[in-house]
């Protein structure tokens, strides 16, 4: 069996280690059958049931865990009120506070998946691959965060959002997206104008000419109102010496 970190991860998944003698005996037993594919594995059914209850059990193992109907219903009803409503939790907080809450949530699950005793030691901008994530732990983190938030997260979560901060930012966008900025009313009016212009027939040259004149006049007036007030400086730059003296004479009322 693998080292301590892998052993702990498999144990959390409901798979217990086999001793060399157990592994050899199971190998011999498998060799004596006509089955094409067998998997010698020692399962912790209690751990499997626990993961099935919190929604993090792998689909491949889900069929191995069956609870009595009454017990399953009682478990579901007991668990339902405890599901965290992250949208409600984050309501009323600033964006920075919301980000902090989800960073801490992600950090706690990252530490649990990797077996870190001190979540605070996990650097928020350090790539997951550098702190020990592989494809199995990536899926475990995805499952844990999905169960914790109620979100359906992609299997490539850790690879598409490869740091603690990046993953928390995705969760924030999904749980509490920022409201879209409303467009200025004038843009809506321009949209309606565009539709009206599109309705003018190509052959109606008189109307199109009048509309063109009006639009050009409107644009010229609007552009003039928005032009900076320092245009006079450009005119002074181009003026001759005689024009500058004449301008000074006018300003000073020199006879």
Q: What is the per-residue pLDDT for 169?
A: 94
Q: What is the per-residue pLDDT for 244?
A: 63
Q: Is 40 helix (H, G, I), strand (E, B) or coil?
A: coil
Asked whether the whole model's pTM tops 0.75, one would answer no
15 bridge partner residues = 43
Local confidence band at 44 (pLDDT 50, 70, 90 cut-offs): confident
- 8 Å CB contact between 116 and 122: yes
Q: What is the per-residue pLDDT for 140?
A: 87
User: Which runs of consecutive H residues, i.e. helices, occur in 80-204?
Assistant: 86-90, 95-114, 135-149, 157-160, 164-175, 185-198
Q: What is the per-residue pLDDT for 163?
A: 95
33 pLDDT above the threshold of 50: yes
- Count of CB atoms situated within 10 Å of the CB of 190: 12
Task: List Cα–Cα distances, 242 to 81, 226, 246, 253, 254, in angstroms.
Answer: 87, 32, 6, 16, 14
Q: What is the per-residue pLDDT for 1?
A: 42
pLDDT tens column, 164-222: 999 999 999 999 887 766 678 888 888 888 888 899 898 889 998 998 888 888 888 88
DSSP-derived letter for residue 182 is P
Percent of the chain with pLDDT over 90: 23
């Amino acid at each position: 069996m693998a080292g301590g970190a892998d052993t702990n991860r498999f144990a959390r998944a409901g798979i217990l280690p086999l001793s060399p003698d157990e592994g050899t005996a199971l190998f011999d037993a498998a060799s004596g059958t006509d089955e094409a594919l067998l998997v010698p594995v020692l399962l912790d059914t209690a751990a499997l049931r626990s993961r099935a209850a919190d929604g993090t059990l792998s689909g491949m193992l889900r069929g191995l865990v069956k609870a009595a109907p009454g017990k399953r219903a009682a478990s579901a009803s007991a668990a339902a009120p405890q599901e965290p409503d992250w949208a409600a939790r984050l309501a009323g907080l600033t964006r920075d506070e919301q980000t902090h809450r989800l960073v801490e949530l992600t950090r706690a699950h990252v530490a649990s998946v990797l077996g870190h005793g001190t979540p605070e030691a996990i650097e928020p901008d350090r790539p997951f691959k550098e702190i020990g994530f592989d494809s199995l732990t990536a899926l475990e983190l995805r499952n844990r965060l999905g169960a914790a938030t109620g979100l359906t997260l992609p299997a490539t979560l850790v690879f598409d959002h490869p740091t603690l901060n990046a993953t928390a930012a995705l969760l924030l966008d999904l749980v509490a997206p920022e409201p879209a900025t409303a467009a200025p009313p004038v843009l809506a009016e321009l949209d309606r104008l565009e539709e009206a212009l599109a309705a003018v027939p190509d052959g109606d040259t008189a109307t199109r000419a009048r509309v063109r004149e009006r639009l050009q006049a409107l644009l010229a007036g609007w552009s003039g109102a928005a032009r900076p007030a320092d245009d006079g400086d450009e005119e002074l730059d181009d003026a001759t010496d005689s024009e500058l003296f004449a301008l000074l004479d006018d300003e000073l009322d020199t006879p």
